[in-house]
Structure formats: C-alpha cells, structure tokens
Structure 1
Amino acid sequence: MLRSSKAGGDHVQRPTAPVPAQAVRFTTPVVETPGIFILTGWLWRFLRMLVLLPIQFPVSVATVTASVAVYVVFDWVGLTVLWTVVDLGLLVWWRRWPSSFKARVALRALATWRRFWIYRRHWQPVLVVSGLAESYLERQYLPQIRGVVCSAWADRVRVKLVAGTAPAEFEHRVAELAHGFGAPSCRVEVRGPRDLVLEFPRRDMLADPIDALPVPDSPEGVDLAALPVGRCEDGQPWRLRLHGAHVLTVGVTGAGKGSVLWSALRAMVPAIHAGTAQVWAIDPKRMELSYGRALFARYADAAEEAVELLEEAVAAMQDRAQRYAGRQRVHVPSVRDPFVVVVLDEVAFLTAYHPERDIRRRAENAIATLTSQGRSVGFCVLAALQDPRKEVLNLRNLFPDKVALRLDEASQVDMVLGEGARDRGANAHLIDPGLPGVGFVKLEGSPAPVRVRAAFVTDTDIDHMASRYSGASSVSDEVAR
C-alpha cells in the first residue's frame, strides 16, 4: 500500500506495511456427554469386573467368599480356627514340598502383587511417555495387560496390542520399558496377532561366574548338536550346536571368547577320546589353544601351516562328500568318519591382518568352502573374532549360529546378530567388562536373541582334560590318504 504526503509542494507516495491476513482457525465442536451415558459406562465396567473376577482370580475370590461365609455362621472364633488350620497347612506344604509350594502359591501370589503394584499402577504413564499410546478422535488407546506370570527369575507380562499397531513398536522401545518398570532388561516375544509377551528379569541370573561343567561320562552322553557350554538367562542350560552348524563368536579382548571355545571342547572330549570326533586347531596367538594341544588331531600356529591345515580340511571334506554322493545324505559320527571341528582362534589374522595377500586369499577361500559345504558331511568351523566388520571377515553370513560377547560399538551388534537384534534387546555393547563370558546368542531360524554366559574353564581344567583324554585323537583314514 502507498500513502501520499506533501513535501515542498510535491506529492510523495510512501509505502506502508501491509496488514497481515487473519489465519482461518478451525475448532472441533465440544459436545458434552450426557451424565446418564457416563453413569451407564461406569456401571457396565463394574458389572463386567464382578463377572470376570472369579475367572481371573479364582483362588482369591474363593478365599474371601469362604472367609465371609465362616464369619457369618461361626463369628470370629470360626474364622480364627479356619485361618489357623490354613496357615498350618501352608507351613507343612512349604516345608515338605518346597518346589510345589513355590510354583503354586508363592510365585502366583508374587504375580498378583506385581501385576497391580508394578505394572498396572505404572502402565499408562510408562507407555505414554515412551510413545506406545495411540490417539484417535481425541481418545487415548492403550495396549491391555492380559496377565502376569512370575518365574524364579523374571516377570512375563502378556499384552494385547491396540488394533493397527505392530510388535516392532515395542521391540524398538525395550530400553524405555525396562527403565520404566525398574527391570535390568526387557525382551519381546510375539505369540500371535495382537498378542505378545514382555519379559522383565527381576534379577541377573548370570551375575556370578559359572564353573567348568562336568565332562560327560561316556561318548554316548555327548550330543554334538546340543553341547552344554553354560547357562541361559532363565537358568536353563545353554546348549551349543556344532554338528550341522558353524559357530562364530565375536567379542573384544577379555570378553570371554576362550570360555566359549573351551566349554564346547570340554563337552565333547569323550567323543574325541573315542575317535568319533576330532578337533583341528589353529592358534595364531600360540596362547589360547596351546594348553590342550594333546587333545587335537591337528594343530597349527604359523600362518603357512594354518592355511595348509584349512586346505587339507577342505580336501578331506570333499573326499567324504564324494564317497557319500548317492549313498548317504546324513552324517553319523564314527571312527571311520569322525565329526571334525576346525577351531579358528583370531580368524582375522588369516583373513585380514596377515601381510601376505596370497595367505589371506587362500585362507578365505578355504573357510568359505568349509562353511558352505561342510555341514552335511560332518565338518564344522568354530571361529573366534574381535572385529566383525566386513573388511575383516566378509563370511559372517556363512555362520548360521553366532555369539555376540562384549562389543565396542552399538552398530557391531547388528553386524554380528543381524539387523534389528539390538532393538530386540541384545545390547552386547553395554555388557559389563566384569562379566566375561556373558553375551547374546542368535540361533538359526530364531529372530529373538538369548542372553547367555559361558562356563569358565581354567588352565587346571584344561591340563586335566589333556592328560586324561590325550593320545586318542588321530588323523582319520581319509586324511591319511
């Protein structure tokens, strides 16, 4: 706009600031809900609670009903006698059958208390702050708690999702949920459409070191597809599959890679002594595996010897595959065709760090052949590594089972266990340095990582194993040829 003014008899046009246009504002009309509808909603919720209460809490409802009935009929004396008898019965049950009492009484009472005092009370604020509450037409929708079950070490909260949401939203907020409910960690288990379970540990079952596990009594007690090597977070044995798989263990120095290797070897020494299993070991550091050298059918520490060992393993594998062609599809360990485990400590020395390019190329080709073709004919690669980057080892995907011990960076978790593992609670980069052997395992066909701890095999244990079971392992006929 222009404004005119006179200056010395002349008309001068001066610009003026434009008047801003008023923005159009849209408001949602507020409609007051009649009080009769609000009252009806409250009454409906109350009646539904009364109907569902005996179904959800049958023991509590039966206890209250019986107590009221006894009080009405026999007054305080009858009620006192009733509860005295009940208390004595519970005391006898607890002393005589403690496991049954814990499972049927103590843990159920704990689940009821934690459901209302821990989860129900904090459910809305934790989910709203963490961004798991949904809004539609100015109404807030929350996932519903369907039940809480307590085990000896954790709470399992079953949740019904809001329609239109995905379990991934919970998987991406496991840290917020764990801190919100005061748990050391949180794991998400999908059970079906709109149905998942949140697992909150109450205490760390892996905080204390695990002594070396007992050696099986006989070769028949050795299951090469489920070797006990430690303990899972739920207190169950951690069993490592070697027969029919390849295993890659990744962790920084001092993370406990040796515990995984030696626990696996300790679990299979009766089979080694019987000749149905062999270990071919490569130890570039000359420190980790040299203690048990007497247990190994083959051993190498120099780079050239290590590569030759790998290439001989490939030749033995291909010879066995040639003999099996058209005759046998499944390998059964025997003295003639033993199960061969190629143990590679610090595999990056051969694949990335050795100065000779030809050594690196030959080692990588041999490892690739073993890991891609060896499972069906009884050859397994058990490797340990510090740095999981592809330029160090680009064969990670050929190892179906992986163990992530303590790592340096958060991004390395997904490198080892696959994309999304850290979102599912596998925070291997946050493992306490004072907990060697603690890590996360992702098994073939399972998207959920499992927190585990390997048993600690001391030098004394290794010396005892080597002295007792040495001398039985020999190179098989197919290698001799």
Structure 2
Amino acid sequence: MFKKLPGDEAQHLVSTTPDTAVVFRPAVLRTPAIVTLIIFAWRLLAGVVRLLWRYPIASAVVAVPCALAWLSGWQWGLGLVALVLLGLTAWALVDRPSFARLVGWRLLAWWRLVWIYRRHWQPVMIISGLGRHVRGRDYLPRVLGVRCTSWADVVTVKMLTGHAVKDWSDRTEHLAHGFGATSCRVSIARSGRLLLVFPRHDPLATPLPAVTIPEETSVGPVEVGQCEDGKPWLLKVHGTHVLVAGATGAGKGSVIWSAIRGLLPAVRAGLVQVWALDPKRMELSFGRDLFKDRYAAAPADCADLLEAAVAVMQERADRFAGLQRSHTPTVRDPFVLVVVDEVAFLTAYQSDKGLKLRISAALATLTTQGRAVGVGVLAALQDPRKDVLSIRNLFPDKIALRLDESEQVDMVLGDGARDRGALADLISPQPDLGAGIAYVRLETSPDPIRVRAAYVSDADIRAMAGEVTA
C-alpha cells in the first residue's frame, strides 16, 4: 500500500462539536544553516564562473580597474578608466564602422540582453503561451545570445522539447509587443534553435533615388534597391522568372524600371533585349524608344509578341540541344526579358477567349521552358489569386509589395510566409512611406527578405531611352 502523507489522517477525524474546525499542522523539517550556506556559496560560485565564461571582455572591463584601484589606489583605477574611454572615443571618431563592428554592437547587444530580453523573458513567454508554469516551476525556452546589427536585434533561442516553429511564428505579434519592437520575424538556425529578429528602427523609411547606371556590361543580378540590412538589393533576372504583385500605387513600376535600368549597359551592347507588354498603355509607354518594335499595348499585339518570344525560345532550343544546357548572352543570342506590366488584364480580364488562350499558353510555355535558353519573364499584377494567374507557381522568384489582404501574402510568397514576418498587407499606403517596399522570397530560401525598390522618375526613363537611341 502507498504510504500516507502527513495530513491524510485528517479526513478520518470525527468531531463531536460541529462548529469546531480541525486544525492540522504539517511536519516541518528544519535544514541546518551550514547546508543552506553551502548551497548558497555553490550557486554564487557557479554564477560567477558562468558570467566570466560567457562575458569575458565585459568582466575584464569591470574587474581590471577595480583590481588596480584596490592595489594602487583609486586614482590609478580612475585614470585607467579615463584613458580607455578616451581611446574608445578617438577610435569611434576616426573609424566608426570598425568601432561599431568590434565594440559598439557588442556593448549594445550585452545591454539589450540584460535590460530588455532577460528582464522581460519570463512574463512574455508565460503570457504568450510559449512557456509553461507547472506546480510552481517555470519551463521556459532559453536565450542563447543576442547579436545587434545596425537596424535590428537577432536573438538566438533554444526551444523547449516538443515546440514547433509554427508555435513561434503564430505568436510573432506577442513577441514584438512584449519586447517593445514593431515586428518580429522567425527563422530556423538549426534543429531546436531559432533566430528572432526584432527591428529597432526602419532603414527603409525614406524613398530611394534611382540607382546609378552600372558601368560594366552584365545581365545580372542587377541592383534595384536596398535591403533592410543596408546591403544592395540584387535582383536576378537572367536564368529565372520574376513575379511582382502589389496593389495600385504599391511601386510595381519602381521594380520594373530599376531592373531595366540595371540592364541598360547590356542593352546598349546588344547582349539584352527588353520586350514590353503594356496593356494599360501607361507604365511602359515612357520607354517606347528603348523597346523599339518590341512594344505591344493592344491585346492582339501582346499575343503576337508573346508568340514571337516563344518562337525565339523554340529556335534556340533546337540549336542548343545536345550542345549546351545553360545560356550565355551573345550578340547573336541575347538575353530576352519579356516584361508584362499588368498580366491579369491579359490572362483573366480579357473578353476575347481566343486571345486569352493564346496569351496563357504562350506565358506558360515561356515560364516552363525559357530559362535554359535565355528567355525570362518579369510579370506584374495586382490580384494574385489563382483564378487570375493560374501559372504563378511557375515563377521561382516572387516579390510582394503592399497587398490588400493578409491571405494574399501566402498566395504570392508561399504558405507560411506571413507567419515568418512578411507583413506585406501592413505596408503603409502613403507613397512616401510605403511605395517600393516589398518582401522577397528567393528560389533558394523560404525566409522572406524586406527590401525597397529605388524610384525611377519619368525624367530618368526618358534619359535611359535617349541613351539607347543615341
């Protein structure tokens, strides 16, 4: 039989006085003071060793001046501190990038780890449901480290056993507001470990001017803007197909014209041809001199131009068969970039069923067979639903500008993209604040990247067309 615990006998007691309460005092085991002191000393020693092991530089910064002041007097300790501060200040003024990389971001990471994340970790984890409080004990994920960049905090977390990545991606809003950030993005570092990205400020808040036309002749990747981490946004157009989705005024033209601008030297050299389909007769009409006879606006002309691109693709495929598997741009076989400004008008909203079938068949043929022979498609649309563009999965690289609904984010970038932090439906509709801002999902990575395309003005487009014409 099981042994009765103290207090179990109380239920068998019978009182003859109904108003008398039965009082039971549990047994108390008194711990000797020496045992308590040993446990306290051991925990203190373990904490000091852990602190020295994890933060050797910060510990040395505090310990060396204190030791010098203890051995030689407080004047020497204060002088050492002043000398170090003076040296760091001079370093920061002379070479700020190296100071930030080696010292500044490390100090900021240590401060935010102590003051922000460790301080609020337990309540945020419990309230958001990522931690558990069982029988008086908290079971929490562990913070393994914090790394600061120029715009965000990257927190490495070890998940609890049994956690899934979706458990964290479903609670990004809880995490962002719990730690005082505007958003949170979740990515996998390795098995059992996650990277949480908390932006401190928005480096893409201001519009970007048009990118300088490159001097070297290249077919890509071309610079079309800036990534959130400050690096150039390089868009691959040769050897892939790109789909750009965004609401009216989201900045689709910025992406298209920035890509053409980056290819301009190769266009002048005859290594690239840009074929333009402009059913709205607005966006691409400014560059008609650049496209020459490879510009179409009427639906029938668009169908003819797409079928001409298919003919070029098939002729190259016949010549390349058995000789080469990838395309190298030459004057004889230049890279052909087919730009479609509003593809939904041609594939979904076209009243002529015959033209609709011709256009859909040509686009499907180009997106399935054109990559290897140097024919790429850069298509833009407003509504990314499947019944509007049934071949959207044939575009390896996708760009999501400002969208109207949260469900459309996963339609463009794939399932789970919004949970990973692609909040394209929350981009500001104001032109100065949100035009050109997008989330990109590349063929090689499922994690979305936040970018902003440079704005190419009408004067810039006319100047580009004039250069090609000259």
Return the TM-score normalized by structure 1: 0.88
Aligned to 1:15: none
Deviations for 1:30-77, whole angstroms, at most 9, x for unmatched residues? Answer: 999985798776554432221121221112211222112211222122
Q: Which segment is superposed worse, 428-437 or 168-177?
A: 168-177
Gaps of 5+ in 1: 1-29, 472-481
Deviations for 1:82-136, whole angstroms, at most 9, x for unmatched residues? Answer: 2222222122212222222122222111111111111111111111111111355
Aligned to 2:260: 265
Q: Which segment is superposed worse, 344-353 or 137-146?
A: 137-146
Aligned to 2:173: 175
Aligned to 1:426: 422
Match for 2:245 among 234, 250, 253? 250
Q: Which segment is superposed worse, 44-53 or 207-216?
A: 44-53
Q: In the alignment, does 2:334 pair up with 1:338?
A: yes
Aligned to 1:316: 312
Aligned to 1:286: 281
Report how far residue 80 of structure 1 moved. 2.4
- Kept in 2, the 8 Å contact 1:175–1:425? The answer is no
Percent identity between the two aligned chains: 53
CA distance in 1 between partners of 2:400 and 2:255 (Å): 11
Deviations for 1:300-341, whole angstroms, at most 9, x for unmatched residues? Answer: 000000000001100110000000001111100010000000
CA distance in 2 between partners of 1:33 and 1:402 (Å): 67
Aligned to 2:84: 86
Deviations for 1:355-396, whole angstroms, at most 9, x for unmatched residues? Answer: 111111110000000000000110100000000111111111
Q: In the alignment, does 2:224 pair up with 1:229?
A: yes
Amino acid at match of 1:322: D
CA distance in 1 between partners of 2:421 and 2:58 (Å): 35
Q: Which segment is superposed worse, 364-373 or 289-298?
A: 289-298
Aligned to 1:390: 386
Length, aligned pairs only: 439
CA distance in 2 between partners of 1:322 and 1:183 (Å): 56
Return the TM-score normalized by structure 2: 0.90
Report how far residue 197 of structure 1 moved. 1.2
CA distance in 1 between partners of 2:78 and 2:138 (Å): 47
CA distance in 2 between partners of 1:288 and 1:168 (Å): 40
Aligned to 2:195: 197
CA distance in 1 between partners of 2:457 and 2:79 (Å): 58
- Kept in 2, the 8 Å contact 1:245–1:375? The answer is yes
SS of the residue corresponding to residue 375 of structure 1 reads coil
Aligned to 1:74: 72
Gaps of 5+ in 2: 1-25
Aligned to 2:151: 153
SS of the residue corresponding to residue 91 of structure 2 reads helix
CA-based RMSD of the aligned residues comes to: 1.9
Match for 1:300 among 293, 296, 300? 296
- Kept in 1, the 8 Å contact 2:400–2:409? The answer is yes
Report how far residue 138 of structure 1 moved. 5.8
Amino acid at match of 2:263: M
Aligned to 1:407: 403
Aligned to 2:5: none
SS of the residue corresponding to residue 372 of structure 2 reads helix
Amino acid at match of 1:360: K
CA distance in 2 between partners of 1:31 and 1:47 (Å): 33
- Kept in 2, the 8 Å contact 1:186–1:199? The answer is yes
CA distance in 1 between partners of 2:31 and 2:456 (Å): 71
Amino acid at match of 1:465: M
- Kept in 1, the 8 Å contact 2:410–2:416? The answer is yes
Aligned to 2:16: none
SS of the residue corresponding to residue 376 of structure 1 reads coil
CA distance in 1 between partners of 2:313 and 2:161 (Å): 53
SS of the residue corresponding to residue 307 of structure 1 reads helix
- Distance change (3 Å), C-alpha of 1:245 and 1:41: farther
